[in-house]
Structure 1
């Protein structure tokens, strides 16, 4: 389902910027706006679209809307439209993005490790190679949670249950092939139960919480922000987090004796056909947004780890992540 929402903001000196930008591009320069005292505050785009390849309410949606709000607060854009295109770990949104916006200079795509894994598992025609990296924004860790009254108290308890009866130890999480699925596979591998893993894929964190609350899953895996309400209300209990060290007061799975750690990431991409000067402009928009108090507040509220990466560093990271996803999916014996 595709949904759009626009948030207006007054434009400041946009026409002047466009003229200066066009002149710079025509001269073959990298400058995106005239070097004047007010240049840093001038809008870079009148209207920007953020395509979120997931349903509303999940981690990608939270990140995309927080980024859009920060863009508006920075004055870098005049308005932001959000377009949700959910399904199959972001691969449906990825394909539709390439079809509709491949050359659109005012459209960004939210992405992350979930999409990388889903592409590796499902092998769609349209892949990450069809996109151009802009910036990595955050790292996020996987929380392993159970129903409050579950007999599973620690990661070792979960490993023991998987080892004893994996077929009846359902683990719920996000899309097939995504980071939740990968982490479930890592836990199953520790338990020597990779072949028997029963993974229940859901479109969002709310459905994972419901699966735990109703007893349809023995354990659930998702980002902290998607479990936070259930944890705070006492409906759920966290037994570990996939970071190497404690996170948000939750002991890491590794420090509890189970060697399995994994970090999710989220970032933004654009189309391959977008001209270089506009890719640079989009990077400027994102960079300015992440410097705002609005973005910093969102980072704190959602318990994300800020992890900025751009340029060649992000390109190389994405190439490595993509190259490693296939072998990891195979090693963990994950199934679509």
Structure 2
């Protein structure tokens, strides 16, 4: 939808009384980023906020970083404080589903309103540049010898890199319950731990480690995609004889209790933002793959992902 058409649609809704003043284009948006600064949700949320302004959907965007528990702390604050707010948004993704499954928080994602899936990204596993281990084969050999001696560093418990580590262990004949996984509240903390040699191997979205890989400070040893990522010379796990493929997607939710008209206005605004030059620049800069899915179709996708992820994590011994 062209921006002028989008703005005209919002105006018509407002005149008809279907759209409250606060949900019109050019409002003041509040964006919950349920992670510490420096990670994928933080980067995604700020890129989305910039795109909303670029597309003239929002006049201003304020950000609230609330890390911990794979996003559950931020989710709880969002659910409890943003009810009925048509300009409140929250970034989320596959990591939050895993965290909810393992952490069983008192709030539910179903209390918020699904709006849109934005991107998909595969993880990369890296070693500190000065590590005595050089390849994924070295990591696997050490894992088989002494599972606890291999410290896997990444996002919160239940993150895609945590799940991938458990799946790798299972595939190579190691009890996934014996992996030594070190969870961090945000991408910045995980990066610092890897660079400092405080973990054996680190995992995250490729974009979060790209500059350190390019600078020779980290050695990329595997990606979790089915095929090599375009322009990135890093072998897949499958190439190395480990049958693991897992992706990370990110999306955005609205507040609990908003009306159908308010929800549609937000979806239309997000779609407009995703067509902006600002968002195109963010996709290119961060090596994100567009994966747009909106409304009820997105809600159904989340429900199916939740069920599939719970099954995978249970079979991997991560939850009972």
User: TM-score, normalised on structure 2?
Assistant: 0.91
Cα deviation for residue 334 of structure 1 reads: 2.5
Q: Which residue of 1 aligns with 2:244?
A: 260
**In 2, Cα distance between equivalents of 1:135 and 1:107:** 14
Cα deviation for residue 174 of structure 1 reads: 0.7
Contact kept? 2:25, 2:58, Cα under 8 Å: yes
Within the candidate set 236, 253, 273, 1:289 is matched to 273
Is the aligned partner of 1:168 residue 2:152?
no
Q: Which string of whole-angstrom CA distances, capped at 9 and with x for unpartnered residues, describes residues 43-96 of structure 1?
A: 624111111111111100000000110111111111111111111110000011
Cα deviation for residue 291 of structure 1 reads: 0.3
**In 2, Cα distance between equivalents of 1:19 and 1:114:** 37
Q: Which string of whole-angstrom CA distances, capped at 9 and with x for unpartnered residues, describes residues 274-304 of structure 1?
A: 0000100000111011101110110110111
Contact kept? 1:104, 1:271, Cα under 8 Å: yes
Cα deviation for residue 101 of structure 1 reads: 0.5
Query: Higher relative contact order at CA 8 Å, sep ≥6: structure 1 or structure 2?
Result: 2
For structure 1, the residue ranges without an aligned partner over 5 or more in a row are 1-11, 27-31, 34-42
Q: Which residue of 2 aligns with 1:9?
A: none
**In 1, Cα distance between equivalents of 2:179 and 2:317:** 9
The change in CA–CA distance for 1:295 and 1:167 in structure 2 (over 3 A counts) is same
Contact kept? 1:159, 1:191, Cα under 8 Å: yes
Contact kept? 1:170, 1:198, Cα under 8 Å: yes
Q: Which string of whole-angstrom CA distances, capped at 9 and with x for unpartnered residues, describes residues 184-206 of structure 1?
A: 11111123221210000011223
Q: Which residue of 1 aligns with 2:186?
A: 204
Number of aligned pairs?
A: 310
Within the candidate set 105, 109, 130, 2:90 is matched to 109
What SS does the aligned partner of 1:200 have? strand
Is the aligned partner of 1:21 residue 2:13?
yes
Contact kept? 2:95, 2:159, Cα under 8 Å: yes
The change in CA–CA distance for 1:16 and 1:187 in structure 2 (over 3 A counts) is closer
Q: Which residue of 2 aligns with 1:238?
A: 220
Q: Which residue of 2 aligns with 1:217?
A: 199
Q: Which residue of 2 aligns with 1:37?
A: none
Contact kept? 2:89, 2:254, Cα under 8 Å: yes
What SS does the aligned partner of 1:333 have? coil
**In 1, Cα distance between equivalents of 2:294 and 2:137:** 38
**In 2, Cα distance between equivalents of 1:163 and 1:335:** 22
Contact kept? 1:160, 1:191, Cα under 8 Å: no
What SS does the aligned partner of 2:146 have? helix
**In 1, Cα distance between equivalents of 2:11 and 2:273:** 23
Contact kept? 1:102, 1:270, Cα under 8 Å: no
Contact kept? 1:89, 1:176, Cα under 8 Å: yes
What SS does the aligned partner of 1:141 have? strand
Within the candidate set 269, 272, 280, 2:264 is matched to 280
RMSD between superposed Cα atoms in Å: 2.3
Within the candidate set 162, 165, 178, 2:159 is matched to 178
**In 2, Cα distance between equivalents of 1:99 and 1:268:** 17
Contact kept? 1:45, 1:106, Cα under 8 Å: no
For structure 2, the residue ranges without an aligned partner over 5 or more in a row are none
Q: Which string of whole-angstrom CA distances, capped at 9 and with x for unpartnered residues, describes residues 203-262 of structure 1?
A: 122322322233221111111121112112111100010011112222211122211110
Matching of residues 44-55 of structure 1 within 5 Å: 44-55=25-36
Within the candidate set 103, 106, 109, 1:125 is matched to 106
What SS does the aligned partner of 1:329 have? helix
**In 2, Cα distance between equivalents of 1:168 and 1:158:** 10
